[in-house]
Structure 1
Amino acid sequence: MSEVDGGAAGWSRGTMDAEYRAGGLTDPEDDGADDAPERRSAEVDASGHGERLDRWLTGLAPEFSRNHLQALIERGCVTADGRPLAKPALKLRAGQRVDIELQPTDESRAFRPEAMALNVVYEDEHLAVIDKPVGLVVHPAPGNWSGTLMNGLLARHPAAATLPRAGIVHRLDKDTSGLMVVGKTLEAVTALSRQIAAREVHREYLALAWGRVEEPFVVEKAMRRDPVSRVKMAIAPANLGKPARTDVFPLGVGEVQVNGQARPVSAVHCVLHTGRTHQIRVHLMHSGHPLLADTLYGGVPALGMTRQALHAARLSFAHPITAEALSLRSALPSDMALAWAAVGAGDLSD
């Protein structure tokens, strides 16, 4: 088995694959010249008299969604006879000449290379393991169409554009730090995805949780999207959710003063058997031990933590091509390391 702490190497170049082209996404080698907005103009005829502006524009620019056209209206990109039209619901009059400046959608700009410093702890021609910092979003999504790990991978490894999701085979939450593996070839991505589905990629986390954890325990509760809040996940009946299991091991217990009262905080080692969204956060909350500063799931901030106290500390798997056993570790980031020391906890056990 290889136990690895660091190292990096270069990646080769590639081209955009059919998946991205079909989605209207741009080539990572595009120099941006195609981003120059196109202007279109048309006169409202009798059939368009009294029609809503946003609905009428879908005929002038049918390749764009109505939502995007509404956004362009609100940005001042649409004029009639030289005067801006700022309301999507505005009713048009026959004879008006409408001009629109067609700007690309945010989504079409998302899959672009963006140079960024990435901490690569292991790399060869088939895969790389990234130590993701706190605050880095993994994949573009509404509200985060740029500055993501995917953007960084496309800049570092242009051939990632030929791979599903640029080689990303699993994710970490924005404010969870630690290790992620990404594939660099289709063969590696396919094999890694199968290993994850077969639960052959072992992911271990360090966490700080409210309450006293002095004995190991297992949480085996199915999960699903919260039916009330779509940004959250929730425990579900087995017939309505996806199976999920987390093993929790104690590493130490300390006390924190909150509003003049001492409250116990536990350092724990969590082992995932499944990889559901927010799994550790939801399972620990369900067990009465929400993570420090995980405000989405009832965890009060403490010990200087302003994000959920969760770190992907170890990643172990068989190399998808060579079958070599790999085990990689990541040290706690500074914010969590300080909180960890205040609890007086031990390290991740072997």
Structure 2
Amino acid sequence: MLEELIRFTADEADAGHTVRDVLQKRYGVSRRLLIRAKFKGRITRNGLLVFVNEKLQAGDEIAVMVEEDAEETVAPEEMPLSIRYEDDDLMVIAKPAGLVIHPTGNHASGTLANGVIAYWKSKGERRRFRAVNRLDKDTSGLLIVAKNQWAHEQFSRMQQERTLHRTYHAIAEGEVKADEGTLDGPIGLADDSFITRQVRPDGQAAVTHFRVIARGEGMSHLEVKLDTGRTHQIRVHMSHLGHPLAGDDLYGGSRTYIGRQALHAARLSFFHPRNGLLMDFTEPMPLDMQQLAARFF
């Protein structure tokens, strides 16, 4: 199946430039995708095949189509989805706590991917599931799903350039003394574990910024922003600081007041990969975290 990645009409600024230059410099199409379009797809001008070194004229309509890497193997399973936004390139979904994003050995079905594939199938769309920002099973909040290979590449670039902004709300145990701060500690797997992470000198660079929103008796409500996206990053850094997240028993927190880590992806901000418009989404904390906050703040 061929998937359309880019379709645009050349304007005066594009005239005289090659198809390759415009696709790469203006639309961010990678060399890898261009090669795949050449051998496993097609690039057309005004409906006819075109070579990428041919020069454009104003008014030319260019389309880039690429064959998928492989058939999607995730089985469709209907489930309610909280879709906050959708267009041809992306979806923004509010994930509830307890939902795994992608099938694994321990969770072969019932994942967000299964639900999204079923949703697309109901619309007559055949796509691969590509999550941009991943959330742990028990973390709630906003995530992006790229709907094509080109969009996924653009979001990967945004993550590398730190122009995809993510803001979390977290409730940590204890009263964090500093009003704000930065946690800069490399994170890697703990010894003899395939799951637990820890701050360690040989880990991957990880930077977390926090700001205290409120303090209560034995709890702190934090706004957290990430420069990097390591597995369990906020949970590991807060535990290392001596303030594990409430409910996060994997990293020293107690489940006395909440049955999962009190972590919520509350805001996503980025420039749309196709039209450059600022996209800004917010999602209120779910009921369990609201109740926890009401108890202590």
TM-score between the two structures when normalised by the length of structure 2: 0.73
Residue matched to 1:147 = 110
Q: CA deviation at 1:227?
A: 2.0
Say if 2:170 is the partner of 1:203: no
CA contact (8 A) 2:171 2:262 kept: yes
Match of 1:244 among 190, 195, 206: 206
Q: CA deviation at 1:188?
A: 1.1
1:223 maps to amino acid = I
Contiguous gaps of at least 5 residues in structure 2: 1-66
Distance 1:18 1:249 in 2: 42
Say if 2:289 is the partner of 1:336: yes
Q: CA deviation at 1:302?
A: 3.2
Residue matched to 2:3 = none
**DSSP-derived class of the 1:209 partner:** strand
Match of 2:233 among 271, 276, 279: 279
Distance 1:254 1:193, change over 3 A: same
CA contact (8 A) 1:171 1:180 kept: yes
Q: RMSD of the TM alignment (CA)? A: 1.8
Correspondence list, 1:176-325, <5 A: 176-214=139-177, 215-237=179-201, 240-255=202-217, 264-303=218-257, 305-325=258-278
Match of 2:83 among 120, 126, 132: 120
CA contact (8 A) 1:153 1:160 kept: no
Residue matched to 2:133 = 170
Distance 1:202 1:114 in 2: 31
What are the superposed Cα offsets for residues 52-100 of structure 1, whole Å, 9 maximum, x if unpaired?
xxxxxxxxxxxxxxxxxxxxxxxxxxxxxxxxxxxxxxxxxxxxxxxxx
What are the superposed Cα offsets for residues 281-323 of structure 1, whole Å, 9 maximum, x if unpaired?
00000000000010000001233x0100000001111111111
Distance 1:232 1:122 in 2: 33
CA contact (8 A) 1:195 1:201 kept: yes
Contiguous gaps of at least 5 residues in structure 1: 1-15, 27-110, 256-263, 345-350
Q: CA deviation at 1:161?
A: 5.4
What are the superposed Cα offsets for residues 230-278 of structure 1, whole Å, 9 maximum, x if unpaired?
11111120xx2111000110011112xxxxxxxx111111111100000
Distance 1:167 1:17 in 2: 12
Distance 1:18 1:331, change over 3 A: same
Correspondence list, 1:65-144, <5 A: 111-144=74-107
Distance 1:307 1:160 in 2: 35
**DSSP-derived class of the 1:122 partner:** strand
**DSSP-derived class of the 1:229 partner:** coil
Q: CA deviation at 1:160?
A: 7.3
CA contact (8 A) 1:160 1:184 kept: no
Q: Which has the higher contact order (CA 8 A, sep 6+)?
A: 1
CA contact (8 A) 2:120 2:127 kept: no
CA contact (8 A) 2:127 2:147 kept: no
Distance 2:125 2:239 in 1: 37
1:19 maps to amino acid = A
Residue matched to 2:32 = none
Distance 2:133 2:90 in 1: 13
Distance 1:317 1:193, change over 3 A: same
CA contact (8 A) 1:208 1:267 kept: yes
What are the superposed Cα offsets for residues 119-162 of structure 1, whole Å, 9 maximum, x if unpaired?
01111221110000011000111110101111111111248754
Larger Rg belongs to: 1
Distance 1:269 1:177 in 2: 15
1:236 maps to amino acid = R
Match of 2:70 among 19, 22, 45: 19
Q: CA deviation at 1:342?
A: 1.6
Give % identity.
41
**DSSP-derived class of the 2:264 partner:** strand
**DSSP-derived class of the 1:19 partner:** coil
2:163 maps to amino acid = E
Distance 1:220 1:193 in 2: 22
Distance 1:269 1:122 in 2: 24
Distance 1:143 1:279, change over 3 A: same
Distance 1:250 1:186 in 2: 38
